[in-house]
Amino acid sequence: MAIKASLSGFPEWLPAQRIVERNILDTLRNTFEIHGFVEIETRAVEPVSQLIAKGETSKEIYLLSRLQAQPDDKHSDKEIGLHFDLTVPLARYVAENAGQLDFPFKRYQIQKVWRGERPQEGRFREFIQADIDVVGEESLPFHYEIELPIIMARALRNLPIGNIKVLVNNRKISQGFYEAIGITNIEEILRVVDKLDKIGVQKVFAQLVDLQLATDSQAHDILKLAQINGGLEVIDKVKAIGHQSDLLLEGLKEIESFLTIANTLEPGVVTADLKIARGLDYYTGMVYETVLVGHESLGSICSGGRYDRLVKSGKKTYPGVGISIGVSRLVSKILANDLIKPSRKVPTCVLVAVNDEDTRIVSDLVAKQIRARGISAETSPTAAKFGKQIKYADKRGIPFVWFPPIITNLQNVQDVIPNLEHQVKDIRNGEQQIVNINLWNPAISDMHVYLC
Amino acid sequence: MAIKASLSGFPEWLPAQRIVERNILDTLRNTFEIHGFVEIETRAVEPVSQLIAKGETSKEIYLLSRLQAQPDDKHSDKEIGLHFDLTVPLARYVAENAGQLDFPFKRYQIQKVWRGERPQEGRFREFIQADIDVVGEESLPFHYEIELPIIMARALRNLPIGNIKVLVNNRKISQGFYEAIGITNIEEILRVVDKLDKIGVQKVFAQLVDLQLATDSQAHDILKLAQINGGLEVIDKVKAIGHQSDLLLEGLKEIESFLTIANTLEPGVVTADLKIARGLDYYTGMVYETVLVGHESLGSICSGGRYDRLVKSGKKTYPGVGISIGVSRLVSKILANDLIKPSRKVPTCVLVAVNDEDTRIVSDLVAKQIRARGISAETSPTAAKFGKQIKYADKRGIPFVWFPPIITNLQNVQDVIPNLEHQVKDIRNGEQQIVNINLWNPAISDMHVYLC
């Protein structure tokens, strides 16, 4: 269960929930790094002029102003706002640092983004996004359009969230097909086609015709295309509709190559779905959406595509392929549905009991020695009765309580400690045993918090 | 060398520099977790009313406003600003969630904070802070005042930044002493004493007297106290000045206990320094500063103390002990002085060469198999001549280039791959050997990027 945000749209988690989020972030990061992606972190703000370059998003921007700005500061202060995604900052970062980056530049970025939306139920105004992009200088081979969604699929498969499905389309197919049937107002039509899942075939058809976006015959063909999905057979299905253009053929060749290779690399993860219209005004090749199998109603948890013009800087153009996960939304769904829990509420594996406050140093030194072997340990907050100290551990899910020897003479205490009798209790089953402080180890599964 | 911020006060790092920062953040996090601290992440914004509760900082706040806010939104939107530290958010988080937290609550928090200062050379307006705090319900034992700076010292010692020194004072000593010599305007005097290192004894004396903050004799005693520093001998030195009060004695007892235990736990790290005046208006017990030995001029890189009233919520009071590192400032100094460099510029350990584009899948499958053993691998961006592919690795510091077998028949390629001849070249020394894909491992030191 998620805690209620005291500020609408700004979610926060309890410590145990943050462990879930952190574990997911670590999994994403490890997956990106094992594929050779390097991290960048950009500042949270951008000049407003850069943020509103994409007109549509201007309503979502949080502007910054200094509470005590002086009138004469204005000239030296550019108008700045919080970034609403990680693509605008990437483009700016690449333009600024191109001379010092190695291309193709494979970067990942995991940061908060902000959207200054009107407050409404369920919308996040602050959330974590995790992006991977490959940016080329002047050119970028097609194979990255296969690689990126595969990497994201692997990242998501490493999370205990069940099966996922990557749905793909190709801008060239839609555009090539539409041009072949004599349609030019592609974006307008795609906005209607995008409602297919919500309002159904009949209503989409009616809208296309009623709004005079397409003739009966065009609308018919548009819907035929949009309803095609599946594996390699989609290519023949598109051809069977009976329209052709060079661009369409190029798109079909790309999706064929995509499906063939993606299915060899990660069998069963990708499906073509030609109704996907996401960002077709922006993307220029493959486009991706990702759904959780069995939770399709959550919508796409991770999307992206190929864009030929991420940056134009001086005479150079930088094409890219990128894909992005809305982490907070995913975490929020996971927590709301109790899909994952941490094995304990703190990192601590061992609580070292304290015999009495005057000899707390003994327990502190024992804890230090346990930590030296990579085991998370803390000393009991008080020298209360052992039952109360065990309760401290139990409340937090700490599996082991360590009982150090009673030492009253603190002379050379460090040297004395290893030679005396130590006992460890597994408080889950009550088993207590005499142990050697230099040899005792918890089960590997108890070393770190894990998700279950 | 750090890159120049294109927006004054908002630093950004190149990818290799971010590896340094990330490594430092990981070290801090690991140290906090091995001591049993749990992470929280709070939203970046707080209601302005909470942010300006501490009057002094009001000038440093960035206010947020929505670019396209409608007049009728105003009622539903509280005035919010970016947090300028992690203590105000912690206090609010504890007050809101006290019922669901376990006390003493040991939390760490590593996040960006923002200060809306006038732009000036070298001042950060956005930076990362790493905080640990222990918060008690109604009470909090003194031993945490020893534990926290020790944990921070261990975290800093785990970084390759040379020796550090934790300088401590105790509010009760200063206040008790000042009261004993008949002084009440303690805060005002401490602001002058705080300049001791900068302007010297004579000028501090002169200012105290000239500003009529103290009599000659009082100023004399004040400076005697402020010049005391060292180990346990400081207690006798303070007593030797010849003034006494219960509060002073309590403070001396605390610092004695602090020095004794801290020196047993981490010999040679802590020193008493009774001129430290940091936040003495706010802290109520031990206070800490931390300097890099040999780089004392950088000032304190990490500070904190005990505060009896972090939160007052309803009838309950929550005392705390906290300590905080300004990570960006530390990273910036490290980068500027070239103190640390990453062993390579990307996480990749192995670049898998591509024989030709038509059989790229062979290289992709080899890379997948290498990754399955936890080794970071990527496939070459193009099937260029091997010399060019090696250059791609060399530029990034990738130590190994893998040459997969030439396979032209892609039927059952997965099964065929392990049985054919693979070669690996260590491009640092040019040594190339035939290897078994299921057995080859890099040296442990080459597995991951490390700092050197």
pLDDT digits (tens, 9 = 90+) for B149-164: 999 999 999 887 889 9
Q: In the numeric block, which tokens belong to residue A85?
A: 């995604």
Query: Mutation test of the interface with chain A: which of B21, B33, B34, B373, choosing the one with the most A Cβ atoms within 10 A?
Result: B34
Q: Is the pLDDT of residue B428 over 90?
A: yes
**Cβ under 8 Å to A: B residues 289-328:** none
Helix, strand, coil percentages (3-state) for chain B, rounded to 5, are 40, 20, 35
Q: Does B397 touch chain A (CB under 8 A)?
A: no
pTM of the full structure: 0.95
Q: Is the pLDDT of residue B1 over 70?
A: no
Nearest to A435 by CA among A395, A404, A414: A404
Distance to chain B for A67, nearest Cα, Å: 6
**Which positions in chain B touch A265 (Cβ < 8 Å)?**
361, 364-365, 368
Phi, psi of A77 (to 5 degrees): -105, 115
For residue A299, name the pLDDT band (cuts at 50, 70, 90).
confident
Q: Using DSSP, state whether A439 is helix, strand or coil.
A: coil
**Which positions in chain A touch B97 (Cβ < 8 Å)?**
3, 14
Contact: A68, B58; criterion CB under 8 Å:
yes
Identify the closest residue of chain B to A261 by CA–CA distance.
B361
Q: What is the pLDDT of residue A161?
A: 83
**Which positions in chain A touch B10 (Cβ < 8 Å)?**
43, 45
The mean per-residue pLDDT over the stretch A243-269 comes to 96
- List, for residues A159-192, the tens digit of each pLDDT value: 878 899 999 999 999 999 999 999 988 888 888 9
- How many A/B residue pairs have CB atoms within 8 Å? 245
Q: What is the pLDDT of residue A77?
A: 59
| Whole-Å CA distances, A372 to A88, A274, A368, B164 | 44, 56, 6, 20
Question: Which burial class, exposed, middle or buried, applies to A69 when counting CB atoms under 10 A from its CB (0-12, 13-18, 19+)?
Answer: middle
Query: Mutation test of the interface with chain B: which of A18, A35, A92, choosing the one with the most B Cβ atoms within 10 A?
Result: A35
Give the separation between CA B229 and CA B225, rounded to whole angstroms: 9
Q: What is the pLDDT of residue A235?
A: 97
- List, for residues B317-373, the tens digit of each pLDDT value: 999 999 999 999 899 988 888 888 999 999 999 999 999 999 999 999 999 999 999
Q: What is the pLDDT of residue A375?
A: 98
Distance to chain B for A39, nearest Cα, Å: 6
Q: What is the pLDDT of residue A5?
A: 72
The percent of residues in chain A predicted with pLDDT above 90, rounded, is 77
Please report which helix (H) or strand (E) contains residue A23, including its range.
Answer: helix A15-34
- Cα A189 to chain centroid distance, Å, stands at 31
Q: Does A65 touch chain B (CB under 8 A)?
A: yes
The mean per-residue pLDDT over the stretch B245-258 comes to 97
Contact: A102, B395; criterion CB under 8 Å:
yes
Please report which helix (H) or strand (E) contains residue B237, including its range.
Answer: helix B233-241
Contact: A119, B48; criterion CB under 8 Å:
no
Nearest to B115 by CA among B144, B82, B149, B161: B82
**Which positions in chain B touch A45 (Cβ < 8 Å)?**
7, 10, 126
Contact: A381, B141; criterion CB under 8 Å:
yes
User: Which residues, at least 6 apart from B232, have a Cβ–Cβ distance to it below 8 Å?
Assistant: B256, B259, B260
Q: Does B127 touch chain A (CB under 8 A)?
A: no
- List, for residues B23-75, the tens digit of each pLDDT value: 999 999 999 999 999 999 999 999 998 888 765 555 689 999 988 776 655 54
Place of tokens 């892609």: B410
**How many other CB atoms are found less than 10 A from the CB of residue A137?**
18
- List, for residues A10-33, the tens digit of each pLDDT value: 999 999 999 999 999 999 999 999
Q: Which member of A21, A45, A413 has the closest CB to residue B7?
A: A45
Task: Give the residue ranges of DSSP H helices in A160-245.
Answer: 171-180, 186-193, 196-210, 216-226, 233-241
Task: Give the residue ranges of DSSP H helices in B313-443.
Answer: 327-336, 360-371, 386-396, 413-416
Whether the CB-CB separation of B114 and B125 falls below 8 Å is answered with: yes
The mean per-residue pLDDT over the stretch A96-105 comes to 96
C-alpha gyration radius of chain A: 28
Q: What is the pLDDT of residue B191?
A: 86
Q: Which member of B5, B40, B63 has the closest CB to residue A67?
A: B63
Q: Does A30 touch chain B (CB under 8 A)?
A: no
Contact: B38, A15; criterion CB under 8 Å:
yes
Q: What is the pLDDT of residue A4?
A: 66
Q: What angle do CA B336, B337, B343 make, to 5 degrees?
A: 90
The percent of residues in chain B predicted with pLDDT above 70, rounded, is 94
HEC-encoded secondary structure of B205-234: HHHHHHCCCCCHHHHHHHHHHHCCEECCHH
**Which positions in chain A touch B265 (Cβ < 8 Å)?**
361, 364-365, 368
The mean per-residue pLDDT over the stretch A124-141 comes to 96
Using CA atoms in the order B201, B202, B206, B208, what is the torsion angle rounded to 10 degrees?
10
**Which positions in chain A touch B153 (Cβ < 8 Å)?**
none
Q: Is the pLDDT of residue A284 over 90?
A: yes
Q: Does A57 touch chain B (CB under 8 A)?
A: no
Concatenated DSSP letters for A89-141?
HHHHHHHHHGGGSPSSEEEEEEEEEE--PPP-TT--SEEEEEEEEEE-SS---
- List, for residues B396-411, the tens digit of each pLDDT value: 999 999 999 999 899 8
More confident of the two residues A409 and B364: B364
Q: What is the pLDDT of residue A122?
A: 65
Give the separation between CA A183 and CA A223, rounded to whole angstroms: 14
Identify the closest residue of chain B to A369 by CA–CA distance.
B265
Whether the CB-CB separation of B261 and A361 falls below 8 Å is answered with: yes
Question: Which burial class, exposed, middle or buried, applies to B78 when counting CB atoms under 10 A from its CB (0-12, 13-18, 19+)?
Answer: middle
**Which positions in chain A touch B35 (Cβ < 8 Å)?**
371, 376-378
Give the separation between CA B223 and CA B209, rounded to whole angstroms: 12
Q: What is the pLDDT of residue A2?
A: 54
The mean per-residue pLDDT over the stretch B143-147 comes to 98
Q: What is the pLDDT of residue B233?
A: 98
Q: Does B377 touch chain A (CB under 8 A)?
A: yes
Q: What is the pLDDT of residue B229?
A: 97
Instruction: Give the best-scoring range by mean pLDDT among A338-347, B54-63, B428-437.
Output: B428-437
Instruction: Work out the mean pLDDT of chain B and round it to a whole number.
Output: 92
**How many other CB atoms are found less than 10 A from the CB of residue B158?**
14
B181-188 long-range contacts, Cβ below 8 Å, gap at least 24? Answer: B181/B218, B181/B221, B181/B222, B181/B243, B182/B218, B183/B214, B183/B218, B183/B222, B185/B213, B186/B280, B187/B280, B187/B281, B188/B213
Give the separation between CA B307 and CA A344, rounded to whole angstroms: 29
Q: In the numeric block, which tokens belong to residue B43?
A: 């939203």
- List, for residues B196-223, the tens digit of each pLDDT value: 988 999 999 999 999 999 999 999 999 9
- List, for residues A260-272, the tens digit of each pLDDT value: 999 999 999 999 9
Identify the closest residue of chain A to B136 by CA–CA distance.
A381
Give the separation between CA A339 and CA B106, rounded to whole angstroms: 26
Q: Which member of A13, A41, A116 has the closest CB to residue B67?
A: A116
Whether the CB-CB separation of B132 and B106 falls below 8 Å is answered with: yes
Q: Which member of B80, B97, B371 has the closest CB to residue A14?
A: B97
Contact: A364, B261; criterion CB under 8 Å:
yes
Instruction: Work out the mean pLDDT of chain A and round it to a whole number.
Output: 92
Contact: B18, A7; criterion CB under 8 Å:
no
**Which positions in chain B touch A361 (Cβ < 8 Å)?**
261, 264-265
Contact: A375, B15; criterion CB under 8 Å:
no
Contact: B65, A69; criterion CB under 8 Å:
no
Give the separation between CA B269 and CA B260, rounded to whole angstroms: 12
Q: Is the pLDDT of residue A398 over 90?
A: yes
- List, for residues A206-218, the tens digit of each pLDDT value: 999 999 999 999 9
Contact: B116, A69; criterion CB under 8 Å:
yes
